[in-house]
Structure 1
Amino acid sequence: MTLPVGAVTNLALIHTVVGAVGVSGYAVFALVTTLPTMLPATDLGAGAALTEAVARDSSRERRLVRGTVLSSARNLMCAGAAIAAAGIIMALFGMWDRVLGDAAQPGSDLTVAVASVLFGCSLPLGLSRSVLLAVNRNEVTFLLQGAGCVLQFGLVLLAVGLGAPTGGLVCAAFLSQCLVNAVGAVIAGRCVGMPLLAMIARSVRERALKERAPIAHLAVPTSITTAAAVVALCTDRLVLSHVAGPTAVAVYSAGEQFFGPASSLLTAAGLPLWALFARRRQSSGAPRRQLAKLTAAFAAAGLVLGIAIVVFGVVAGTWMMHGRIRVGTDLMVAFATLLFVQAVAIPAAMWTMDAAGLRFKAITYSLMAVVNLVGSIFLARLGAEGPIIASVVSYAALVLVPTLLRAFRRA
């Protein structure tokens, strides 16, 4: 239900931004609003730790769950403060213009500084997603995601109506994320019967330290995996900005608007398997035949969605850019191929979310990140599709194949 809502609002959002600030302004908007995806701090292993805690803790007091929430909240509070401080300090020294490359505009330092503060505030509130995942209430997460897309479009539209520059549009997008995460924290707290907002606020107090539960054995490898995925899959815009220029960034971002929702849909379908497999690991495990059927189903879904984004992406992407630049078929085929290899890996990846599996994933993703980044820098000269080709090859060889072999060997 949220996929068409998010897709339509994102198309309208990009069309509005390009019409208001041009292709170069949209390149800045897309680059800055996706900077958080390049940070491994968006979860810090909270999802893995909370899912395991919920699967293991059947007591009435739920001390393990409460302790895990406090530990995760404290980590995210500290990470959010560090991100906000880093954004401000880099802006004071004029460093963001260098980071953004050719896409940078006057005032980019101030824009990213304000965006960093808003993102730092929203980070601990985003713990609600991990809580909802742990109790298998993913439908609430994705309804909030759809509402967030509509709110973001509304705030950006308001900023455009007020004649705000590119920086104002960027800050409107980050403000919407902060508001949605705050609402999500209230809803997640009601779902688990805990005052989640109050627990996040008091997680930094000294008294809360005694109630925390250890999560490092799950959080550390998860954070390494997230950081590696960020380097591999989320730095493409920065690489293109430095190697190919702002036009390539805009073309890539237009195509990614079709890949992103499709990837989110497949991830949404796979997330319930995380909690299911966590409970299965406490008992007899998952039969190999079931894992094979799930893998085939996700492969078929990835193929269908890939064909859809190739068929519709070229026409709709060019419309988003007001016809000023063309979104090519080569770009959409590259995105479709990346979507397919990621889809095939989802069931096996969900099966390997225990402590040993997370350590294995940390190794495979780290290797993939190195190969992917080097390949992206060289292939970016081909245009917007270059980094995606590097992602497909490195992901298939170093993540997909090892994960499938390990999962089917141990299922």
Structure 2
Amino acid sequence: MSQTTEHAPATGSVAVAGEHRRHRGGRPAGGAMRAVGSTAVTKVFVMAISGILGIITSRLIIAHFGTAAYAQYGLLSTFPTLLPFADLGIAAVVINAVAASDEPRRDEMVKRTIVTAFRILLASGGIMVIVALVLTAFDLWPLLLGEGLLPGGNLAAGLCLAVFGVVVPLTVGQRVLVGLKKTTTQVASQAVVAPFMLLCIGVFVMFMIPAGTYLAVASYVANSLVSVICMIVAARTLRPQIGQAVRMIRHVRSYESVPAIGLAWPMLVQMVALPVAMQTDRLLLSHVSGDVQLAQYNLASQLFGIVLQTIAAAGVALWPVYAKARAQGRVESPTKPTLWFLLGGLVVGGCLALVSPWLVEFVSSGKIHLPVLLVVSFVVFVALQACKYPIGMYMTDKGGLVFQVVPILLMVPLNLGVSWLLIAPFGAAGPVIGSALSVAACQVGPNFWYVSRDLKRRRAAQAAGAAAPPSADEAREAESDFLADQTET
């Protein structure tokens, strides 16, 4: 294979020459909403299966390995939520490059981007494996994780992080599928996790294998299957790009990486800051409130989390739509999708709120009751989260991602402070109200302002471009395309 390759034009700056080229390769908004709906339905189906099988798996673990094993299993399974920055923001680079390309199977920039992603994630995953080895070798996991570890839990924790690190480079496949508008496939692949876990636990129980300490390792292997499946599907869909990219990873000098820091760093900041801002409610309640309010919050969060996860999966399906529109010089407004998402969040959240008394009674056997204010607060929070997704997916270019950094960083102290103050008067609903106010003030409001200005700017630029006569090169290119089409006809 040749060691030198010419740089292809950047796919994000596609020239538009006349109406003949402007309409080529576009995708109607209806197709985007169908993709969103398909992803949402698939996510609900996957979560339904996972929920049912997860309950059975939990009962098996508790009954045959004990509550201590179940507690450690839950503790070690949280590594992925504590390491959301594992891909170092490279997801934005991969998704934008693949989505913007007219021919991703032959686009040199796409291949270079995938090579860059592999190199960065190999380094990230390798560091995690080294950290896992060091912490395990010096028996430091009990110091970090506390008394929740069983005897032998030090090795189990090390294995969990090591498996996670090994699989990190394979997550490129999931990003490629999103860029190819195959988010439904990426979501559907998650259906293998719960059956695999039930099978593993069932085998341990059937053959009386004393694996209670290492149950969490099986969960990491199960989640690794998602990355493997997505990588296989992405490689076949994008053939031969990923295979060639793998072979070019080691040729660092002769096959240069693409500049990734411009998109990666603002994405990385968001991936670090958002979990701090949104995942600390339980800690606040644990310090300020009692067990009853913490249990109320946990149950409400579990119920409404189903809706939030579905909205998130459906929202990501819009990312490649807006990336493609930018590359083709089209203005794709997120206004209508935002209204639909807001309406959908209110309807689904409201329906869940109406049936929540019966769900809570069934799940808790009457031991937990959710205050009306807590339920209503979650409905509002779900609606705001739904509202922010379309405009957030529109803002996935460099300018949009950079703009979001400051508001999100401000949201961290704002959410923590407001939530802390509201716990005393409103109990478990306090952190939810604080999160809703923070999302409205630091994401929905600023993002709406940015998008409205950006839409005006893009439309003005498009109008100016349409009014101006085409250059000689653009005219020749448009004429060549027209003659080629006439010849094919």
Is the TM value for this pair above 0.5? Answer: yes
Matched, 1:405 2:449: yes
Matched, 1:186 2:232: yes
Q: How does 1:6-405 map to 2 (within 5 A)?
A: 6-14=47-55, 16-17=57-58, 20-21=61-62, 26-58=70-102, 61-92=106-137, 95-97=140-142, 99-100=144-145, 107-159=152-204, 161=206, 162=208, 167-194=213-240, 196=242, 199-200=245-246, 203=249, 205-207=250-252, 210-236=255-281, 254-286=299-331, 290-313=333-356, 315-316=358-359, 319-320=362-363, 323=365, 326=368, 328-329=370-371, 332-375=375-418, 386-405=430-449
Structure 1 residue 389, shift from structure 2 partner: 3.6
Q: 1:285 to 1:57 in 2, by over 3 A?
A: closer
Structure 1 residue 310, shift from structure 2 partner: 2.9
Q: Does the aligned pair in 2 maintain the 1:262–1:305 contact within 8 Å?
A: yes
Structure 1 residue 371, shift from structure 2 partner: 2.5
Q: 1:284 to 1:179 in 2, by over 3 A?
A: closer
Moved more, 166-175 or 244-253: 244-253
Moved more, 221-230 or 47-56: 47-56
Q: 1:404 to 1:264 in 2, by over 3 A?
A: same
TM-score (norm 2): 0.72
Q: 1:280 to 1:132 in 2, by over 3 A?
A: same
* Aligned-residue CA RMSD (Å): 3.5
Distance across 2 between alignment mates of 1:171 and 1:247: 32
Distance across 2 between alignment mates of 1:63 and 1:249: 52
Specify the SS of the correspondent of 2:334: helix
Structure 1 residue 159, shift from structure 2 partner: 4.3
Q: Does the aligned pair in 2 maintain the 1:313–1:327 contact within 8 Å?
A: no
Q: 1:256 to 1:163 in 2, by over 3 A?
A: farther
Name which one, 1 or 2, has greater alpha-carbon Rg. 2
Distance across 2 between alignment mates of 1:327 and 1:169: 32
Q: Does the aligned pair in 1 maintain the 2:267–2:401 contact within 8 Å?
A: yes
Q: Does the aligned pair in 2 maintain the 1:28–1:103 contact within 8 Å?
A: yes
Distance across 1 between alignment mates of 2:76 and 2:274: 18
Q: Does the aligned pair in 1 maintain the 2:43–2:313 contact within 8 Å?
A: no
Structure 1 residue 296, shift from structure 2 partner: 1.2
**1:336 partner letter:** V
Specify the SS of the correspondent of 1:280: helix
Moved more, 175-184 or 264-273: 264-273
Q: Does the aligned pair in 1 maintain the 2:192–2:225 contact within 8 Å?
A: no
Match of 1:5 in 2: 46
Structure 1 residue 272, shift from structure 2 partner: 3.0
Match of 2:29 in 1: none
Moved more, 121-130 or 109-118: 109-118
Q: 1:284 to 1:202 in 2, by over 3 A?
A: closer
Moved more, 193-202 or 65-74: 193-202
CA deviation vs aligned residue, 1:263-285 (integer Å, no higher than 9, x gap): 23222322232112112223454
Specify the SS of the correspondent of 2:415: helix
Segments of 5+ residues of structure 1 without an aligned counterpart are none
Moved more, 153-162 or 223-232: 153-162
Q: 1:122 to 1:329 in 2, by over 3 A?
A: farther
Distance across 2 between alignment mates of 1:256 and 1:201: 45
Moved more, 89-98 or 394-403: 89-98
Structure 1 residue 158, shift from structure 2 partner: 4.0
Moved more, 330-339 or 292-301: 330-339
Moved more, 17-26 or 387-396: 17-26
CA deviation vs aligned residue, 1:261-308 (integer Å, no higher than 9, x gap): 322322232223211211222345436xx5332211001111122124
The size of the alignment, in residue pairs, is 407
Q: 1:253 to 1:372 in 2, by over 3 A?
A: same
Structure 1 residue 188, shift from structure 2 partner: 0.8
Q: 1:213 to 1:47 in 2, by over 3 A?
A: same
Structure 1 residue 357, shift from structure 2 partner: 0.4
Specify the SS of the correspondent of 1:336: helix
Structure 1 residue 58, shift from structure 2 partner: 4.2
Specify the SS of the correspondent of 1:126: helix
**1:402 partner letter:** P
Distance across 1 between alignment mates of 2:172 and 2:361: 37
